[in-house]
Amino acid sequence: MKNKKPHAFRQYFVLISNPNNATNALAVCSSCIKKYGTLEETRVRPECVTSNRANLCQNHLSKCANFKEYVSSEEVQRILNLSVPEDDKNKKKENIKVNYLKFIK
């Protein structure tokens, strides 16, 4: 099994096992846990749980009122502007495609 580097949003979530997909953990928002008291209470709230993928965690934080309640607006903007590895991969693929199209013309 590969030990992948955690994505930039990992520190804002607690990981729990995913009963439907053993290879991808579920991420429970730390701000939601703070709001609702315990991990057990929070993990049953679908609005507080997402798959542990950088783009999904970033999307959760962008919509999470609890995150915005506990973190300053400047810090929220800084965090939401962190790099998303999936976006970087897509940009690389797009650049390869553009360069290939230029090459074959």
The answer to whether residue 2 is domain-embedded is no
Which pLDDT value is given to residue 92? 54
Q: For residue 5, is it within any domain?
A: no
Total domain count for the chain?
1
Could you list the pLDDT tens digit for every one of the 105 residues in the chain?
456 788 889 999 999 999 998 888 999 999 999 999 999 999 999 999 999 999 999 999 999 999 999 999 999 999 999 988 765 555 555 545 455 455 565
What's residue 66's pLDDT? 97
Structure token digits, residue 52: 């542990």
Model-level pTM?
A: 0.76
Alpha-carbon distance of 3 to 24, in angstroms, equals 13
Give me the pLDDT at residue 1, please: 44
Q: Provide the 3-class DSSP secondary structure of residue 70.
A: helix
Q: What is the pLDDT of residue 87?
A: 59
Q: How many CB atoms neighbour CB 59 within 10 A?
A: 15
Is 68 a member of any domain? yes
Q: In which domain, by residue range, is 97 found?
A: 10-104
32 located within any domain? yes
Composition of the chain by helix, strand, coil, percent to 5? 60, 10, 30
The per-residue pLDDT of the chain, averaged, comes to: 85
